[in-house]
Amino acid sequence: MLLSAIPALVLANPSPCRAADGYVPVPGIRLDQAEHTVVATQGPFRPSPAESGDEMAMMDGMAMPGMADTIVQRFTWPVDGWVRGFHLDVCDAEGHAFPEEVVHHLVLVDLDRRQLWRPIAERLLGIGEETSDASLPASIGVPVHRGEAMAIHVMWHNMTGHPIGAYYRLTLQYTPANQVPRPVDVLPVVLEVSPAIGALPSYDIPPGRSERGFDFTVPMDGRVLAVGGHIHDYGKSVAIEDRETGQVLFRVRSVQSADGKVTGVRRKLLAIRGSGVKLHANHPYRITAIYDNPTADSVSGVMAQLATIFAPDRSEIWPPVDKADAEYASDLASLAGADVPVDEAGMLVVSLARNRGER
């Protein structure tokens, strides 16, 4: 999802959940202007243990049963620049790491910018249980501005077999505003096979091979530079095709074990040679997912998503957010349960002496 679409670079030497100085998680936002990182920490969350296939346990530890994705942290983005990478730790109060699978997914939402293909809040990045850390090349980045309203929502999947008290620590790498040369603006476009507001973008699959698709257009020209995805067990691939020509523009495939369990989703860097895959304004496209269910029963609650890095031809005409729009309001309301606000007092600015040239 978004930055998880990039295969080229991975954050070097990510810090362990428990640092050498006896790190313990402190909820809040920490800006380090020397290291060019913004770190969001929150917890503890106490998701109930789940049995295999128990979707009801994939919930925010502070949410009502059945709530899928709820905002658990709000903050104001503290610095101008471009987001270009992430690293996620999940640990207990003493800094001991939990398995990555404890987080089904975590999504960073920019409440002050809308998505390209529909008028809801932008999902700036998403991390699924099959997602590894990633970083964009320094030549490109997602523009962010000091003062933008951000939110994080999480779906937990506690498969440890016992109650836990979990904290997440999301480290976001950014390029400062005074970077020369200036990075090229890229923005996230997350596409779903079964889009929904106020509910999971999920659906059911029958036994055997099945396909599901969704038609869409985009309101402006641009290029897809990279793509990744999110898919559940038995999922084979997710693709974008041109509806007029039938041509598959790009496809990502899952990595599966022998029994069909998904252990990862391959990523594609489409601009390694040339300028990426062109999308045209108001042209018909379709996202299609393929599943192959080897069991004799239907499977409920599967998902299929693509996250692309999209370079608009003219970033200044990106559709503006309209917070009075009914879809935007419905989307925000669906995320607003179990809200844990974080005010400016929770922000720490460190290491300024080593980076006085940054504005």
H or E segment to which residue 329 belongs: helix 326-335
Of all residues in the chain, the percent with pLDDT exceeding 90 is 44
Following CA atoms 266, 155, 28, 33 in sequence, which dihedral angle do they give, to the nearest 10 degrees?
10
Q: Pick the range with the lowest mean pLDDT from 25-39, 160-174, 337-351.
A: 337-351
- Quote the CA–CA distance of 137 and 128 in Å, as a whole number: 21
What is the secondary structure of 67-135 as a DSSP string? --SEEEEEEE--S-EEEEEEEEEEE-TT-PBPPGGGEEEEEEEEEEEE-SSSSSEEEEEEEETTPPPEE
What is the arithmetic mean of pLDDT over 99-111? 85
Q: In the prediction, which pLDDT does 58 show?
A: 38
Q: Pick the range with the lowest mean pLDDT from 282-286, 293-297, 347-351.
A: 347-351
Of 192, 226, 161, which is closest to residue 69 (Cα–Cα)?
192
Q: In the prediction, which pLDDT does 272 show?
A: 54
Of 172, 199, 165, 203, which is closest to residue 337 (Cα–Cα)?
199
Following CA atoms 248, 254, 335, 329 in sequence, which dihedral angle do they give, to the nearest 10 degrees?
0
pLDDT band at 286 (very low <50, low <70, confident <90, very high): very high
- Decide if pLDDT at 15 tops 70: no
What is the arithmetic mean of pLDDT over 188-196? 88
Q: Which residue has the tokens 């504005």?
A: 359
- Quote the CA–CA distance of 64 and 349 in Å, as a whole number: 35
Mean residue pLDDT of the chain comes to: 80
DSSP structural state of residue 341: B
pLDDT band at 283 (very low <50, low <70, confident <90, very high): very high
- Tell whether the torsion through CA atoms of 17, 18, 23 and 24 is positive or negative: positive
59 Cβ contact partners less than 8 Å away, ≥ 6 residues apart: 47, 65, 66, 67, 68, 155, 156
pTM of the predicted structure, to 2 decimals: 0.77
pLDDT band at 130 (very low <50, low <70, confident <90, very high): low
What is the arithmetic mean of pLDDT over 114-119? 89
pLDDT band at 131 (very low <50, low <70, confident <90, very high): low
Q: In the prediction, which pLDDT does 352 show?
A: 33
Q: In the prediction, which pLDDT does 350 show?
A: 41
CB 279 within 8 A of CB 223: yes
pLDDT, tens digit, for every residue of 69-81?
567 899 999 999 9
First-last CA distance in the chain:
30
- Decide if pLDDT at 153 tops 50: yes
- Decide if pLDDT at 16 tops 80: no
Q: In the prediction, which pLDDT does 62 show?
A: 34
pLDDT band at 330 (very low <50, low <70, confident <90, very high): confident
Other beta carbons within 10 Å of 329? 15
